[in-house]
Structure 1
Amino acid sequence: MSVYPIVFLTLSFFFFGCSSGKRSLEKGNYDQAVYKAVSRLQKNTGNPKALKTLNEAYRYASDDHLDNVRQAKLSSNVLRWETVIKEYEDLNNLAEVIKRCPSCRQEISVPERYISELAEAKLNAATIRYARGIKLLEENNRLSAKQAYYDFEKADQLYPDFKDVVKKLDEAYWAAVIKVIVQPVELNRSIYKYSNEYFQNKIYQYLENYEQRSFIKFYTPKEARKDELIPDQVLSLNFDDFVVGQTYVKERVEEVTRDSVKVGTTDGKDIYGTVKANVVTFEKTISSAGLLNVTVTDWRTKNTLTQEKLQGVFVWQDRWGTFRGDERALRNEDISLIEKRESLPPAPQELFIEFTKPLYAQLTDKIRRFYSRY
């Protein structure tokens, strides 16, 4: 086997690693060139090519970022200060990475950091976001209030506790939120009371998690009465029909045979023949299913906003067997079947929970799709 390809690949990798910072510099990717040069100098201090790349790349990167700052400040873009923030943060990141590299500091002794300039830019950006949020909130409609919330949120991120931004966030949220009363699934059959409560609680848990990342607020009827709430919508859940424990038992008889089996002895000689058996297979199927009617209604107009019937099905199956005839005729699979005994089926309450599992998956998907538009 020739060693030349291996040597060539090794040398190629070496030269690629050594020249990668320079190539970034030549392509105008000055920030990237700085980071690569620093990384190389941390592994190989005093590398002359890396030091040269670092010096040139840092100078060009600084010039570009400061030029971008000047242009952004002159821009008519209302969010121009956020561009300024990005440029100052990039400059400070470059300075920080050089500061942590001793050999780099020999080439660039004091990389400039823009701390006060960045703080001023953040204050200006937060001021603009806050002012725009106030103006949007005054438009007194849900969509504007939603955008105002995002502006107040951004202002708080840029400059924490800016003015009364936390209060304005709460004000914008309640102006934008859709209030929905959830009418629970009602059942008249007491045997399924706890199973239905389990299903209902899972729905409430999902809704609680969903509203934390949306502008939808869900209420139980009890909560709505307590708060004297006037809702925007009502989400109604009703079983149009359901059946639990519908049982079918199917019986199948199959004759099995085996040839060349000893069946007796005559005059001291073994006699071989065919033996037979009837294998009886029992298959029990217990089906449970329900049809859940999901309706969202506008509280003010009483118009139906969406309606869909969701179907949930669960099938429990059991299989066992017996036989009549000569045991020697049985196949391996027949023996396995016959050794089984009829299993005790799940309780009705468990069957109810099982058929509501696919309903839950469909319902949560329906809610997510419908309320994503809000």
Structure 2
Amino acid sequence: MLKYLRYLSVCLPAVILFACKSGEKLYNQGRYSAAVEAFVKKLQRRPQDETSLRLLPAAYDAAKDFYEGRAKQALASNNPLKWEDVKNEYRSMQALYNVIRSSPAASSVVKPKDYSAAIAASGENAAEVRYDRGIQLLDERNKAAARQAYDEFDAALRLSPNFRDAASLKEQAYQLGLVHVVVSEIDVRSSYFQFSADQFRDALVRNLEDRRINTFVRFYDERRVRGEKDFHPDQYMEMRFMDFMVGQTYVDRSQREVSKVIQVKGNKPDSTGKYPMVDITVKATIFVTRKTVESSGLLDYRIIDVTNDRILRQDRLPGSFTWQNQFGTFRGDERALSDADKGLIRGRDIPPPPPQDLFLELTRPIYDRLARDLQSFYSQY
């Protein structure tokens, strides 16, 4: 414990001296804002520190001149969003105000300026610019401009919460900018697989909604919006399974010879009267039956612009699934069988899954590819 106290008595003054020199070094480098923070931290530990008390006022005045100068330059520029730059400069000064106010010793030598009113005023001016830009874009009454208007109103609200009616106009811009995509029922050319195809489509619509690919793109199940008079889709996605084959079965039978050298007790005793172990070769024939059920198909899809019947995207996606089962019997000496051979012998002839399950399996790779395609397409839309 005594050794630890000695260590502190040596190191603590060195740390304090280093902190003081760091603030002075920052000041000499012209990094006035960082110097102010360093001096204030020092005064929080040592309120009577002479260097900090002496240099803090000069550091603050220099930082104040720097940020206010940048604010004036921004105001004199032709940048339409200059008020946002002004607000940022004032916020930097307000941060120094808060730092100095946190230390009584620092506040005794510096009376920092409160920029909260200036920040609010510049925020109002900046929000008004964004608001006016949003109004102009919204007046164009098209989806692309409405999306830009949405961003402008959103920026206005971030600059000045509750600014005028920006919140309601933002929602109006959002609704106008939305692209409504209706996902059609899937044509499979077979009523037997219609239920499975509907499951495919239902999962796809849920997936697209859950992923939130694009803020301005909404997907709808055709069955749920059919007959709604006030609903007007912008795009229509058609899907059709074609050239699909479910449950093509192949049976392959084969046989192979296996053998193994093992040790067994001999028939003749040796000179001591014991029966020594001898090597013998055991053999067996394995008969293997392999059943394979192959399923494959193609999904043809296209996305159509409802207003002009223009095809926006189309592709044909393949999918396949192979189910396999094998089992076997043997003839000969069981001792010749390996563990893998024994597992094969224990297998049994089991029926393949029903066609509906095979159809769903072959659609899994198609589903994954289609979901990726649509995410890529609509994320840049």
TM-score relative to the length of structure 1: 0.80
* 1:312 and 2:319 are equivalent in the alignment: yes
User: Deviation per CA, 1:15-55, whole angstroms, max 9, x where unpaired?
Assistant: 99746656655554444455556567667877767777766
Where 2:161 maps in the other structure, the secondary structure is coil
In structure 2, list runs of 5 or more residues that go unmatched: 1-10
CA offset digits 1:278-307 (Å, max 9, x no partner): 233444443333311110112232222211
Q: How far apart are residue 256 of structure 1 and its match?
A: 1.6
Q: How much does 1:124 deviate?
A: 0.7
CA distance in 2 between counterparts of 1:303 and 1:273 reads 79
- How many equivalent residue pairs? 363
Aligned partners of 1:17, 1:204: CA distance in 2, in Å? Answer: 63
* 1:58-91 residue CA offsets vs partner (Å, 9 max, x unmatched): 4433322111111112221111111112112222
Distance 2:118 2:333 in 1: 96
Secondary structure in structure 1 of the residue aligned to 2:309: coil
Given candidates 83, 97, 103, the residue that maps to 1:95 is 97
Indicate the residue corresponding to 2:174 in structure 1. 173
Partner of 2:308: 301
**Counterpart residue number, 1:182:** 183
Q: CA distance change for structure 1 residues 234 and 262 in 2, over 3 Å: closer, same or farther?
A: same
2:189 and 2:241 in contact (8 A); partners too:
no
The answer to whether the 8 A contact 1:46-1:103 is kept is no
Three-state SS of the structure 2 residue aligned to 1:255 is strand
CA–CA separation in structure 1 for the residues paired with 2:49 and 2:304: 72
Q: Structure 1 regions of 5+ residues with no counterpart?
A: 1-9
In 1: Cα distance, 2:18 partner to 2:345 partner: 70
Q: Residue 8 of structure 2 corresponds to which residue in structure 1? A: none
| Residue of 246, 249, 252 corresponding to 1:247 | 249
- Asked if 1:63 corresponds to 2:70, the answer is no
Residues 287-366 of structure 1 correspond to what in structure 2 (within 5 A)?
A: 287-341=294-348, 345-366=352-373
Q: State the Cα deviation string for residues 304-327 of structure 1 (Å, max 9, x = none).
A: 221101122333344444322112
Q: CA RMSD, aligned part only?
A: 3.6
Decide which moves more: 82-91 or 203-212. Answer: 203-212
Task: Pick which of 116-125 and 289-298 moved more.
Answer: 289-298
Matched to 2:115, the amino acid is Y
Distance 2:51 2:361 in 1: 68
CA distance in structure 1 between the aligned counterparts of 2:323 and 2:43, rounded to whole angstroms: 67
Farther-moved stretch of structure 1 (203-212 vs 232-241): 203-212
- For the residue of structure 1 that corresponds to 2:227, the secondary structure is helix
Letter in 2 for 1:166: A
CA displacement at 1:136 relative to structure 2: 1.9
Deviation of 1:194 (Å): 4.5
Percentage identity across aligned positions? 35
What TM-score do the two structures reach when normalised by structure 2?
A: 0.79
Listed one character per residue, the Cα deviations across residues 101-138 of structure 1 (whole Å, up to 9, x for unaligned) are x4764666554331111111111111111111111222
Q: CA 1:284 to 1:164, structure 2 compared with 1: closer, same or farther past 3 Å?
A: same
Q: Which amino acid aligns with 2:143?
A: R
Asked if the contact 1:252/1:280 (under 8 Å) is kept, the reply is: yes
Contact 1:321-1:337 within 8 A present in 2 as well: yes
Q: Is the 8 A contact 1:211 1:218 kept in 2?
A: no
How many angstroms apart in 1 are the aligned matches of 2:51 and 2:350? 78
Q: Is the 8 A contact 2:244 2:296 kept in 1?
A: yes
Change in 2 beyond 3 A, CA 1:245/1:119: same
